[in-house]
């Protein structure tokens, strides 16, 4: 857990530094620093939700192709 928390803080620091370097604006850099991880969290949820379906589809596809080849 400590490693994950440490990486989270590091991620926020990098996001702020890059955002500030690109914009030169503290307010915009601060907003990007917190909005980006929030959006990524939502995207990650949907990615995980659909990953199982995609994996099952690929497994089915591989099985069908191997049956054809045999």
| pTM passes above 0.85 | no
Is 70 a residue whose pLDDT tops 70? Answer: no
Is 20 a residue whose pLDDT tops 90? Answer: yes
Is 1 a residue whose pLDDT tops 70? Answer: yes
Burial of 19 (0-12, 13-18, 19+ CB in 10 A): buried
Residues 34-70 as b/e (b if ≥16 CB within 10 A, e otherwise) read eeeeeeeeeeeeeeeeeeeeeeeeeeeeeeeeeeeee
What are the residue ranges spanned by the domains of the chain? Answer: 2-69
**DSSP string across 29-47:** HHHHHHHHHHHHHHHHHHH
CA–centroid distance for 25 within its chain: 25
Kindly state the average pLDDT of the residues 16-23. Answer: 96
């Amino acid at each position: 857990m400590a490693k994950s928390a440490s990486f989270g803080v590091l991620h926020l620091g990098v996001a702020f530094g890059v955002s500030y370097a690109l914009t030169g604006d503290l307010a915009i850099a601060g907003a990007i620093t917190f909005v980006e991880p929030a959006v990524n969290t939502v995207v990650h949820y949907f990615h995980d939700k659909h990953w199982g379906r995609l994996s099952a589809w690929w497994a089915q596809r591989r099985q069908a192709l191997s049956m054809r080849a045999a």
